[in-house]
Structure formats: C-alpha cells, structure tokens
Amino acid sequence: MTAMRWDSSRPVPWQRLIREWLIYVAIMAAVLAVFFRDSGYVGALAGLLVSGPLYLTFGFAMAKLGYQRKSLKEMKTPRAEKQQTPDDDSPTARRAPAPTKRTSGGGNRPKSRQRRR
C-alpha cells in the first residue's frame, strides 16, 4: 500500500460530508433525548454541535490525501453484476462433485429388516 500525498487540487465532497453529519446529529440527538430525559442534555447537544467542525475538518484532510469512501450504491453494484453473469468456463466456477458410493442417490441407507410372518 502506497502512501497518498497531499494534493490541493483534489475535490472535497462537502455536500456528502454535511449530509452525513446532519444524519448523525439527528440520530444521536434522538438517542440522547431518550437517555438524558431526566437530566438536561444541553451539554450533550453542545458536544454534538462541536463534532460538526471536527468531522468536516477530518473529512477535508482525508479527501485532500486521496481517500474516497464508496457509497452503498457503489458497493452493491459490482456484487450484483457478478451474480448476474456467471461464467461456467472460468477456473473458479464451482461444479458438482462426482458421485461416489456415499453420495449417489441415497444408496447408503441401511437395509430394513424383513418382517417375520
């Protein structure tokens, strides 16, 4: 793995960073409202608001260093394409094992005893 260098010309996905942080704040505010219902949760909300600039700064630095996280849609696409086009001639394609004495049509069942008359 090679280290990425700082490149000031790399774009920063500001919209995505802000959207992700807002979703995080909404979920955590609801969770904190449940847990800190009795005691005031003003301090917890202040902590959430302070996390915004920290998250955006960290995301900015990572983007300038070349880190680009895949979206859920991008992660699902290659897997779906792989399943739709199986190649039977490829060396990694799985084939059924050859029949053996133990797997050929259930012939390994013990014979039942004949009933006496």
In the chain (117 residues long), the average pLDDT of successive 10-residue segments reads: 78 93 94 84 88 94 88 74 58 76 63 72
Residue 114 included in any domain = no
**pLDDT for the residue 61:** 93
Domain extent at residue 60: 1-69
The answer to whether the beta carbons of residues 24 and 59 sit under 8 Å apart is no
Give CA 62 to chain center in angstroms.
Answer: 19
SS (H, E, C) 18-57: HHHHHHHHHHHHHHHHHHCCCCCCHHHHHHHHHHHHHHHH
First to last CA, the chain: 78
The total of structural domains in the chain comes to: 1
Which pLDDT value is given to residue 27?
96
Q: What DSSP designation does 13 have?
A: -
- Its pTM stands at 0.58
Predicted confidence at residue 109, as pLDDT, reads 62
Per the domain annotation, does 51 fall within a domain? Answer: yes
